[in-house]
């Protein structure tokens, strides 16, 4: 990994950790039809709602070009698919 990429990884890692550490997921659901349409997506992904009123939306990339699947470490739920 080149130095610039490593620097970005460290900076974003700290930002994500500082923002999300200690937060609790209070709800989880797939995007509603209207939300999906507003994003211009053909598919829906999962949305995780946090205790501070914010949410996490799984996207295929950082330009929000579509819904994304979420890989987990749960044996009986190893992948939360796009629907």
Q: Using 50, 70 and 90 to split pLDDT, how confident is the model at 57?
A: very high
The model's pTM is 0.90
Distance CA 55, CA 75 (A): 25
Is residue 1's pLDDT more than 80?
Answer: no
Report pLDDT digits (tens) over 5-24.
999 999 999 999 999 999 99
Distance CA 8, CA 3 (A): 9
Nearest to 27 by CA among 53, 5, 64, 4: 53
**Confidence at residue 26, expressed as pLDDT on a 0 to 100 scale:** 98
């Amino acid at each position: 990994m080149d130095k610039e990429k490593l620097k970005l990884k460290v900076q974003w890692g700290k930002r994500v950790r500082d923002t999300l550490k200690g937060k609790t997921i209070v709800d989880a659901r797939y995007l509603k039809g209207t939300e999906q349409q507003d994003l211009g997506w053909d598919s829906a992904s999962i949305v995780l709602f946090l205790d501070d009123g914010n949410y996490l939306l799984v996207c295929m990339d950082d330009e929000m070009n579509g819904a994304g699947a979420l890989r987990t470490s749960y044996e009986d739920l190893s992948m939360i698919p796009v629907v």
